[in-house]
Structure 1
Amino acid sequence: MFVQFGRTALTFALFSIATPGVAQETQPPKISIELNALDPVDGTCRMSFVIENGFESDIDKAVYEAVLFDTDGRVAQMTLFDFGALPAARPRVRQFAVPGLTCTSVARLLINGTETCEASALPEDACARSLHLTSRTTVEVAG
């Protein structure tokens, strides 16, 4: 019985050392944008995104300026992605068809900035700060 208690105490001590302050730390709110899929549709490239507003208040409208780079690193196109309304703490999927662009020619997507961010209960820079960008495709996403 003493040995079992010792192992439990040792495990707890090791967990506490390996993860200091986990319970006390809270992550700042962020907006997460994931490039989830690229699909060729009728001569365009349809880009699917999963976006989540990590703030405690809704965002009425979020529009981002995006730059698409080709496989040679050149700017292929600049566009605006209107993600629309983003309810607090709920993921949304948005799709955009980018005409004149094949999916295989896109190598990188740069979120160049926030064009519009309408959120009455949030600071003006809420859509731009703490932006978390990821990709489930071969296309790199940066911001």
Structure 2
Amino acid sequence: MGRGMPVRGGIGGRLVAGAALAAVLIVSPAMAQENAPAAKADSPKAASPKAEAAPLKIELNRLEPAGEACRTYMLVDNSRGPALKSLKVDLFAFDTEGVAQKRLAVELGPVQEKKTVVRLFDFAGLACPKIGRLLLNDVLTCEGGDATRETCLERIEPATKTSAAFDR
């Protein structure tokens, strides 16, 4: 058996070899636990931080004249998130010089789970060419699942396809 005393034939030699083998088998599981790597902080067994929420993409898709108003098309992409029965946002329209012109509270919900929708609304008394920027000032209402105003605001990723900027 390697180093140590040679094992001689007969019953005594077999007993010594058997005892040594039993000792290895008993100690091995304990040594395996001692040498096992510690649980990582990101492993499922470890206390995990709050899972990152799926993005909620809101795109300023189009601006078009509608009489004395500017009709606004908003694309709400909830393709990776849970259903929202209400999503009401506070918007500010700024002119091309950066001066606030109009404020509007808009209901963009309901938005089904894993769905994209288009919502239309008008900025009354504001010509589309005068809009240089649209600001998502705040989320007024966000209802659905465990959503809160704050978590919805964090999830929102604004984008634009128009000449006007759209940000939060």
Equivalent residue, structure 2, for 1:111: 136
Q: Which residue of 85, 88, 93 corresponds with 1:60?
A: 85
1:122 alignment partner in structure 2: 146
For 1:80, give the aligned amino acid: A
Instruction: Quote the offset at 1:122 in angstroms.
Output: 2.2
Q: Report the alpha carbon displacement of residue 54 of structure 1 after superposing the two structures with TM.
A: 4.4
**Matched residue, 1:142:** 167
Counterpart in the other structure of 1:14: none
Counterparts of residues 1-143 of structure 1 (less than 5 Å) = 28-119=53-144, 121-124=145-148, 125-143=150-168
**What TM-score do the two structures reach when normalised by structure 2?**
0.65
Unaligned 5+ runs, structure 1 = 1-26
With the length of structure 1 as denominator, give the TM-score of the two structures: 0.76
Instruction: Say how many residue pairs are matched.
Output: 117
Q: Is the 8 A contact 1:109 1:142 kept in 2?
A: yes
Q: Which has the higher strand share?
A: 1
The answer for the alignment partner of 2:34 in structure 1 is none
Cα-to-partner distance string for 1:62-120 (whole Å, 9 max, x where unaligned): 0000011001110001111111201111100000011010000000000001001111x
1:110 alignment partner, SS class = strand
Query: Once superposed, what is the RMSD of the aligned Cα atoms?
Result: 1.7
Find the structure with the greater CA-based Rg.
2
Q: What residue number does 2:48 align with? A: none
Q: Structure 1: how far apart are the matches of 2:98 and 2:157? A: 23
Residue identity matched to 1:118: E
Q: Give distance in 2, aligned partners of 1:72 and 1:46.
A: 21
Gaps of 5+ in 2: 1-51
1:42 Cα deviation after fit: 1.3
